[in-house]
Amino acid sequence: MKQSKKAIGFFFSLAILAFGFLLFFTKQIEPFSDFALIEWQIKLANQGIFHLPYQNHLLDPNFHLFPFPSLFFHFHNGFAYSTFPNLYPILFSPIYGSFGLTGIKAAQFVLFFFSIYLFYQINKNAISAILLLSGSTIFIYIFLIHETILFFFLEVLILYLYHNRRTGLSGFLSLCLVWMRPEMIFSVAFLPFCFSEKQNWKRYLLAFLITGIVFSIVNQFTFGTFVPIRFFKRPEYQFRPEIAFYLFKITLEQIPIFFLFIIYLVKFFKKKEWFYRNISLLTITIIILLISPNTGGHNTPRYLFGLIPLYILLLRMNTNIENKISKRWLLLCLTLSIYSLVTLWNQTKELKKISKFQTNTLEELSKIEDQILVFNNSDFAFVALPLLDRKKNLLLLQNQNHRENLITILNAKNASSFTFLELPPSPIPIGETLKLPGCNKDCEFRTIETKTLPNALLPITATRYKRM
């Protein structure tokens, strides 16, 4: 037992040191992509707003020029709702309002380590806890404004409650988790197979189904759909082998516990009871790889993070790990920790590069005098989100058919000029002139200046149009 406590103390101390270093190293990383959207939701939650406001909603009632691609919001009854559930923004908005990004990182650090503690309480096994701590790079999400750490905690809490025969509450929370992250359906469906049959899986299933029915009814009245918004707005599926291969590659790179799981799957091939469970979990992994609509967008296998605790639970059942830590397991855990830390270091360097693009581009965009900024690339719109606080009017032109909506807004705002931002070759160009029908004076916008934004790392072209 003393040896076990020393091992846990060593690895947790290593993790705390890594957190302190990475907290300092990542302090200049600004939110980008969907991280920027979630940060905006947090700011809105602090104002008591739980939809995505659009200052042109009266002029563009169908939100054709809303500054996000349709995949990221659901339109219902004149309001746009983010496909990212408001639970995370609501819970973390007080922390953000008081302590900013550093406060969120610290809170997620505490939540992550509390998850490790709860996981340890399931079987009082030091190796299992250390493997969960060091067997993947999910740690990187501590430093990002994202719901991954919160949902990781919820999953471990569900496992803990199920183990302690609180199967009804576990089933309720499982449905909540699936409602917010539909891909977690695989994890919560497999959960009962990670424990003995003494737990009441029927009560777990009943609680899951009843909660699902209630949520579906409430969701229909609130958002006009019986299924979760995130599932309703899912991208159209098209099998692309390159995506499956890429996800498999980064899964091996960033979830080394999965590689260990495969090794023990082969090693214990003859033990049928364990083999069937293991092969079932491996099959689930392959299914997720094959049906994933995209890579997740963060250079991480985040669609598979929900399987990490399950790999470890089955690995524990396979090997019958005792609390007495052998030198072999100690060396393995140390190797995993070093490997994960090196991978985390490389990831943070990549994040800093992306953040530099974000910061430089935002700085150049803020120098543009025009209040109306028109984009034809959704990535630029995410970068420009902080400009909404400066009362900039951001419009995303995603279709040539929406030029009429743009003209309507320009007319109604009595705009004398606007700036169009694009990354050549432009998929949706505006052209040299933009004519205003039904106009008596100054009836067109003409190009007066075209330049490339300096220091933006990408050749972003800014074209200014003036009314003449």
Q: Where are the domains of the chain?
A: 2-50+86-353, 367-467
pLDDT, position 198: 66
Q: What is the DSSP letter of 464?
A: E
Question: CA 395, CA 378: separation in Å to the nearest integer?
Answer: 10
Query: Measuring CA to CA, how many Å separate 171 from each of 154, 205, 392?
Result: 12, 6, 45
User: In the beta sheet, which residues pair with residue 420?
Assistant: 374, 463
For 400-419, b where at least 16 C-beta lie within 10 A, e where not — what string?
eebbebbbbbbeeeebebbb
Question: CA 98, CA 446: separation in Å to the nearest integer?
Answer: 46
pLDDT, position 196: 73
pLDDT, position 103: 93
pTM over 0.75: yes
Instruction: State yes or no: pLDDT of 321 exceeds 70.
Output: no
Instruction: State yes or no: pLDDT of 319 exceeds 60.
Output: no
Q: Which residue has the tokens 């049959």?
A: 197
User: Cβ distance 159 to 307 under 8 Å?
Assistant: no
Closest CA to 231 of 178, 282, 267: 178
Question: CA 354, CA 361: separation in Å to the nearest integer?
Answer: 11
Question: CA 136, CA 142: separation in Å to the nearest integer?
Answer: 13
pLDDT, position 94: 95
For 82-111, b where at least 16 C-beta lie within 10 A, e where not — what string?
bbbbbebbeebbebbeeeebeebbebbbeb
Mean pLDDT of the chain, nearest integer: 85
Least confident of 24-33, 225-234, 245-254, 445-454: 24-33
pLDDT digits (tens, 9 = 90+) for 189-239: 999 888 876 667 889 999 999 999 999 999 999 888 888 888 777 777 777
pLDDT, position 97: 92
Q: 324 falls in which pLDDT band (50, 70, 90)?
A: low
pLDDT digits (tens, 9 = 90+) for 19-62: 888 777 777 777 777 788 898 899 999 999 999 999 999 899 98
pLDDT, position 179: 92
pLDDT, average across residues 128-140: 88
Query: Measuring CA to CA, how many Å separate 439 from each of 49, 59, 435, 442, 445?
Result: 38, 17, 9, 8, 12
pLDDT, position 156: 96
pLDDT digits (tens, 9 = 90+) for 341-388: 888 888 888 888 877 888 888 888 888 889 999 988 877 777 888 888
User: In the beta sheet, which residues pair with residue 203?
Assistant: none
pLDDT, position 322: 53
